[in-house]
Amino acid sequence: MKFKRIITILVAILIFYFGFMFAMKKYVYPYKYAEYVNKYSEEYELDPYLVLAVIKTESDFDKTAVSKKDAKGLMQIMETTAIETANKMGLEVTEKDLFEPELNINIGLKYFTYLLNQYNNNYPLAIIAYNAGIGNVDNWIKNGIIKEDGTDIENVPFKETNNYVRKILRDYKIYKELYD
């Protein structure tokens, strides 16, 4: 009888523990701005979990974020890139507009889609280019530092970009596990 009670208590503790850990993981990896993430992921045919991983890495879902290099908003878009991308979309934007979540996600994903097209839908290369720029990625490929298929991301020479792409790919996997 005592053994059965101990087992019941242990099972209850395990259920509580794993439930708590799952809830904590969702707290650390939230699905914020779902309306816009889902809308524009669908429009640009992107996996919303990848989009969430990019936003988490870029701004940790802080719509007012500004980087050291002056990238802005949820997706940390450089103003010149945002204006150029918005113009291609038939939109006019100001610096202030980049802090508006829907517009920031829309422009960021439009630009990310452009990068995917540049690199034959290769997610790692597009992610690297989103952080380090197309010119760097093209030079690294041309000089044999990284492969065109993106299978050797560990060779990315910029430490920040190397960590960045790894973090996004890790977070992407976590988002898929949590919300898929």
Known active-site residue 45: no
Residues 127 and 169 sit within 8 Å (Cβ to Cβ): yes
Identify which of 116, 127, 118 has the alpha carbon closest to the alpha carbon of residue 166: 127
Identify which of 67, 76, 29 has the alpha carbon closest to the alpha carbon of residue 172: 29
Of 58, 92, 95, 160, which one is the catalytic site residue?
58
Q: How far is CA 132 from the centre of its chain?
A: 15
CB within 8 Å of 75: residues ≥ 6 apart: 54, 55, 58, 59, 104, 105, 107, 108, 109
Catalytic residue set? 58
